[in-house]
Amino acid sequence: MRRLTRLATLSFVVLAGVTILAFLVATVAYLNRVRVINRALAILVEPFQVSVGDIHFHPLGTVRVEDLVLVRRDKREMEITARIPLAELTYRPGELRRTKRFENLSLSEPEISLTFHGPSSGDELSEGKSSSPPFSLAQFLPLNGSLGIEKGSLSIEGENLPLVSGTWDFHLGRVQFDESGRLTEPFKAALRKLEVGPKGQMGSIDSLEVSGTLTTDLSQIDLETVRLQRPVFRLTPRDDRGDSPKKEMEKSPSGQAVSNGEKPSSFRLTLAGLELSDGRFELTGFDGTNGRARLPNLSFESTFSLPALRLEEGSWKSEGAIELPLFQVSAGSGKLPFFSAGSVLIGAESLQTLIRDQRIASVEIRDGDLLASDETLSRFLAESTRKTESPSPSGSPWILESLRFTRTGVAVRDLHLSGKETPALTASISGDLQDLRFGGEAGFDSEGTQQLRLEQTRLHAPGSRESPAPLLSIEFAEAEFAWRDFQSKNRIARLDARGPRIEFTDEALGDWLNPPSGPDTPRPVNRPVYRVTDLEVTGGKLSADSSFAGGRVPKLNGDFSLNSRPDDSGGSDAYRLRLAQVELRNHPRTLEFIGPPRPDSLSPAGKPSSNRPGPLAEGEVFRVGTIEADFTATGLQRNRRVEHLKIDEATLTVGEGLKSLVDGDAAPEKEADAPTSATPPSPAPAAPSPPDQASTKDGLPTWTLGTVEITRSRVHFESLIPQVEGLQFAIETRLEEVPLSLDGLLAQEKLQKIELAGIEIRDPYNSFITVAELPTIFVEFSLAGLARQQIEKIDLIGPSLHVGQGLFWWIDYQRKFRAQNEGASIGIESGVAVEQKPDWVIRTINATAGKIIISPTGVPVGVVPFPFNATTNMSEGNIELELNIPDEDHVYRFPDYKVELQGLAGDVKFNVPVKDVNNNLVQTFTLRKAKWKDYDAEDLYITVTFDADGIYGKFGGAAYQGYAEGQFNFYLNDPGKWDAWLAGTDLDTGPVTRIIAPDSFLMDGLVSLKILSEGRDKQVGETSGEFQTTTPGWFDITKLDAMLEKLPPEWNSLQTSLTELSLIALKRFDYDKGTGSLYLLNREGSLKMHFAGPYGTRALNLQVHDQRNTNDTTAARPETAAPPEPDAPLPEASARPVGPPRLAGARKSR
């Protein structure tokens, strides 16, 4: 018992001692709990240096730690600093003893800072070794309950990473892992007010929310949809190192990104989705200076949602298509962007194809605008200071399967390239581009078919801002092509353009009107040839009115179209250009008025007259219905050749306008003192060399036309025969190997022969009077000759020339009209030299089977006209026309004048000088026989001269055994008036008196006489004459025979005998000498005769009375009007034509 008591007492003492000792130890440990815990944490958490401010263990089951600080000891790769003001840990003692795991952990306002550094060369990690055990989140978090973090702050920074800072919350309902090491409950995390860069200079995110699960070793992280609210990213170059260095990456055969040859990681990250709302991206500052990259300033906004994403084996994958919509896109380098768009939609089949295959499925641009100018492109036009890097091996290209853009505005203005201003361009462009490949060895490539559409295209030349109309405008254009065909074969599959318009004016040409002079850089002969398989250009308009090239480009208006056509070999390299309703005009000449302004009587009252140069001599040169040009792409672009040119329904006006184009100066400037002199026609230019030999000075072939076909066309002459205007003829011809230029076309010496029909020239004052009729005309000419105002030959078949007042009024009118055009009516002072226009040259003029019709007042006076043939020419504006009347047995009758001519032959000389007023027509005839009434003459000559004032004739010949001559004049300036004289020598009076008065007076013997007469139309006015006998003869007054027969029967025989003896003595008388005189006024007058003979003398006074008219009338001159004035006032002629002397002339010797 005692032993038992002793044992119990000893045990109690020991137990009490132990208890007291444990209490003492616990008391000491609690009082030094912070120090003990710090030492314990320093041993347990080896990589970190940990310190605790205070720790509380009450109430039971709760541990409160204040001012917990964790600092990573090894700072070579990463610095970690965590400051936790309050950490509360709960536990269950039994559970803690059994499982050694706490219940819940709550962190309030923790501050975590991570700073990353590059690994050192001697680091174990670089050798692929690690002394640390495998990481386990279950060991790091010995919890069975929840984990919560509230109002925490996070700061991450690295050597090549920007500073990222913000607040964050984290909540995990139960820290429990299943058998596979995965959390059994998802966690939730939210980051707010994230800032990238100091004070958010590089971006910010309002909030980022994420939830998910992970494995204890963090090898697998599965997240629900990640949501980002109002993120802003700003990318700028770093000032200390310029651009961030590019990480060298290699491609494994599987397409995974591998760094430094390491094996793909087993880490896997999945996202159920990614939602970004109200995001904004900005890229600025990459201006190419200080070694920086040269990139545009880029900004855009975006809101998008991505499908499930997965990072596995080092590569990203998605379970659906990727769509990234970008809004308010802007790219530029100055104040104005060079590109902006309302939206850009980017799509990819999956994330793996985007990252691994570098393939973008589609990009769609809406409401885009592109502005190219010196300001918007200043960053890319400036010289770069970046050092040129050695070329790196080319990787795989980025592939864009589809690029679409609709109604994107394009504007190019104030842009200079290589020191020269580019044209201004505006357009609305849409496109559908397929399979675009960027990068790789080719740089750019494509296997797809591309489509581009342009609308409202406007092109302005440099310096043409004042022009209201663009140089080129196209309402709509669409092109379809394959890039590889275009790159290798220079071929476009299809090009369709509608409504193109070309305005070729001085204002529209701008600086291109006078290009700077300088040496021309020769272009390669074998330059690329661009082709269009299916080409269609419709509704084109062409308008040219410019002084470009010194006025050699004429005024031009017309419609055009351009289409592809199969060529002879069935290929698609042939095209046809069609122009319709083409009008070509020469440029006007100008006259500088020197001195004070002339009063403008035609201007409205109060409107000041202008003293500026005025346009003169502008006219239509060429009008054509259609022009078709067939050519090939190779022939046009490389050989400068058009295969076939067809001109249909054209009218070419040959005159000063055409010649001004050929001369190449629409407004020539001459020195004031430069004399004007007539120059002979220029010689014909040499025939063009064959196309395979012709070339320009830069080694390129000359432009040539293989075949020129002209159909249903006409040539209109402004003034062919001197001042004969309005002549035109049809022309159809075919030319070979013609130089393609106006000079080349008009330098063709190949003779063409055309036929004209039905040309009629009429009196300019009276359109009812015919001047000439040309029923058939054959003209031989060359285009070169027309340009030089030269015609090779004109054949007139059956021409009719109406000689009369109409002909000479027409000639006078044309002379006055020419005087007007040469300055007579536009105020040129006297003494000022007037530029003389060049004159037409006709090398040969033939007239066959012609007719001369005498029409003094416009009405023919002969039944049978005079035939003629002629051969002449025209040079220096003069025609010396010699008409030959063949010796044929024709009887030419003039019934109104009772004249007949037989055996007529002779010449007609027609003089039409342009610069002289002596326009006249001279005829010289010979006649076998002439008859007037019953009066005959044989072997006569007649010379007739016609001019604008009258017809003047002289004649002479054998008549009645003697010789007679005379002269007659018909005055056209006093219509109907005429005068004449007749002189005869040794004329037999017998036949004459038997014609004149067979029932009144007969005479036999030779006489010499002279008669002068005048009248109007068919009425004889005043007539006077005298005669004298040259041989003895007799006369018999036969009128007395009727008196003898009618003596009164009531007379006695004495009265009757005495009367008969007296009348018989008076009736017949033989004379040796005799004289007489005659005077008639109209048909009344007196005849006085005195004869002397062997039986005495006789003096007879005979009175002539007109029993048809009881009124005493005379041939008084009626009042007549002057020739009618033309529509426009013309200056009067300064001199009257010169004719033969009237009523005077030397007698022709017999």
| Residue-wise pLDDT tens digits, 462-471 | 888 777 788 8
Residue 170 lies in a domain: yes
Confidence bin at 427 (pLDDT 50/70/90): very high
Alpha carbon distance 635, 529 (integer Å):
9
Pick from 1056, 849, 854: which is nearest to 970 by CA?
A: 854
pLDDT at 380: 79
Instruction: Quick: pLDDT tens for 587-644.
Output: 665 544 433 444 443 333 444 444 444 444 556 677 888 999 999 988 888 888 899 9
Q: How far is Cα 809 from Cα 768, in angstroms, rounded to an integer?
A: 13
Residue 1012, Cβ density class (10 Å: 0-12 exposed, 13-18 middle, ≥19 buried) = middle
Structural domain containing residue 862: 751-821+838-967
**Nearest of 686, 114, 559 to residue 694 by alpha carbon:** 686
Give yes or no for a contact between 269 and 223, defined as CB atoms under 8 angstroms apart: yes
Q: Under a CB-based contact definition with an 8 Å cutoff, are residues 430 and 464 in contact?
A: no
Asked if the model's pLDDT at residue 450 lies above 90, the reply is: yes
Q: Are 445 and 483 in contact (CB under 8 A)?
A: yes
pLDDT in tens, 180-190: 888 888 989 99
* CB-based contact 672:632 (threshold 8 Å): no
Give residue 909's pLDDT: 65
The answer to whether 1004 touches 1034, Cβ cutoff 8 Å, is: yes
* Torsional sign, CA 1008, 1012, 1015, 1017: positive
Flag whether 727 is in a domain.
Answer: yes
554 and 657 within one domain: yes
Structure tokens at 934: 């019953």
pLDDT for residue 822 is more than 90: no
Dihedral (Cα; 1041, 1046, 1052, 1057), 10-degree rounding? 0
Identify the bridge partners of residue 906 per DSSP, sorted by sequence position.
Answer: 885, 925
CB atoms within 10 A of CB 291: 13
- Does residue 518 belong to any structural domain of this protein? no
Q: Provide mean pLDDT across the span 1111-1130.
A: 42
Instruction: Answer yes or no: do 894 and 928 share one domain.
Output: yes
> What percent of the chain stands above pLDDT 90?
15
- Residue 771: pLDDT above 90? no
Query: What distance in Å separates the CA atoms of residue 837 and residue 849, rounded to the nearest whole number?
Result: 34
pLDDT score for 538: 94
Is pLDDT of 895 > 80?
Answer: no
Instruction: In whole angstroms, give the CA distance from residue 879 to residue 1139.
Output: 19
Residue 220 is inside which H or E element, if any? strand 220-223
Closest to 388 (Cα-Cα) out of 477, 294, 463 = 294
Q: What is the pLDDT of residues 934-969, one digit of tens each?
A: 777 778 778 877 776 778 888 888 888 888 899 988
Are 142 and 207 found together in one domain? yes
What average pLDDT does range 1124-1134 have in this prediction?
37
C-alpha to C-alpha distance for 343 and 429, rounded to whole angstroms:
16
Strands 309-312 and 268-271 turn out to be: antiparallel
- What is the SS3 assignment for 510? helix
Q: Which of 967, 994, 1025 is the last residue of a domain?
A: 967
pLDDT at position 1148, please? 39
Q: Are residues 927 and 1050 in the same domain?
A: no
What does the alpha-carbon distance between residue 858 and residue 894 come to, in Å, rounded to a whole number?
A: 15
User: For 740-744, 804-808, 858-862, which range has the lowest pLDDT when averaged over its residues?
Assistant: 740-744
Q: Is residue 575 predicted with pLDDT exceeding 90?
A: yes
Range among 210-214, 667-671, 927-931, 1130-1134 rated most confident: 210-214
End-to-end Cα separation, the chain, in angstroms: 218
Q: Look at residue 684 in the predicted model and tell me its pLDDT.
A: 42
The predicted model scores a pTM of 0.61
Residue 842: predicted pLDDT: 83
- Please give the Cα distance from 336 to 343 (Å, whole number): 18
**Residue 715: band (very low, low, confident or very high) from pLDDT cuts 50, 70, 90:** confident
pLDDT at 1008 over 50: yes
| Total number of domains constituting the chain | 4
Residues 573 and 713 in one domain: yes
Domain boundary among 748, 780, 809: 748
Would you state the pLDDT for residue 705? Answer: 85
How many whole angstroms separate alpha carbon 740 and alpha carbon 630? 13
Identify whether 898 is part of a domain: yes
Mean pLDDT of all residues belonging to the chain: 74
DSSP string, 149-199: EEEEEEEEEESSS--EEEEEEEEES---B-TTSBBSS-EEEEEEEEEESGG
Dig out the tokens for 108 from the structure: 């309030």
| Element holding 2 (H helix, E strand) | helix 2-31
- pLDDT computed for residue 249 by the predictor: 40
Say what the pLDDT of residue 1052 is.
82
Mean pLDDT of 119-146: 59
Statement to judge: residues 924 and 1035 lie in one domain: no
| Weakest mean pLDDT among 573-587, 859-873, 1112-1126 | 1112-1126
Q: What is the DSSP letter of 284?
A: -
Amino acid (1-letter code) at residue 998: P
Query: Residue 22 phi/psi, 5° resolution?
Result: -65, -40
pLDDT band for position 826 (cuts 50, 70, 90): very low
Q: Please report the pLDDT score of residue 829 as a whole number.
A: 46
Q: In sequence order, what are the beta bridge partners of 801?
A: 772, 852
Q: Please give the pLDDT value at position 599.
A: 41
> 647 and 540 in one domain?
yes
The answer to the question of residue 743 being in a domain is: yes
Say what angle helices 2-31 and 33-44 make with each other, to 10 degrees. 80
123, part of any domain: no
Whether the CB-CB separation of 1054 and 1062 falls below 8 Å is answered with: no
Query: Are residues 755 and 735 part of one domain?
Result: no
Cβ-proximal residues to 155 (8 Å cutoff; 6+ apart), any chain: 111, 112, 113, 114, 163, 164, 165
Which DSSP category does 538 fall into? E
How does strand 147-158 pair with strand 111-116?
A: parallel
Task: Identify whether the C-beta of residue 573 lies closer than 8 Å to the C-beta of residue 564.
Answer: no
Confidence at residue 1096, expressed as pLDDT on a 0 to 100 scale? 85
pLDDT at 2: 52
DSSP letters, 601-658, are: TTSPTTPPPP-S-EEES--EEEEEEEEEEEEEHHHHHTS-EEEEEEEEEEEEEESHHH
Give the count of beta carbons closer than 10 Å to the beta carbon of residue 914: 20
What residue has token string 């559970």?
Answer: 95
Q: Confirm whether 582 is domain-assigned.
A: yes
Span of 20-29, 105-114, 440-449, 1024-1033 with lowest mean pLDDT: 20-29
Q: In this structure, are 779 and 657 located in the same domain?
A: no
What average pLDDT does the segment 153-168 reach? 83
Domain contains 482: no
Q: Can you tell me whether residue 219 is helix, strand or coil?
A: coil
Residue 820 is classified by DSSP as I
CA dist., res. 867 & res. 862, Å (int): 12
Q: Does residue 1001 share a domain with residue 946?
A: no
* 797 and 758 Cβ atoms separated by less than 8 Å: no
| Contact residues for 1040 (Cβ-Cβ < 8 A; gap 6+) | 1063, 1064, 1066, 1067
Longest CA pairwise span in the chain (Å):
254
The predicted model gives 868-893 an average pLDDT of 69
Q: In the numeric block, which tokens belong to residue 1018? A: 């068919």
Q: Are residues 907 and 1016 in the same domain?
A: no
Is 48's pLDDT higher than 50?
yes
> Residue 281 pairs with which residues in a beta bridge?
233, 300
Q: Looking at the structure, tell me whether residues 912 and 931 fall in a common domain.
A: yes
Domain stops at, among 177, 199, 224: 224
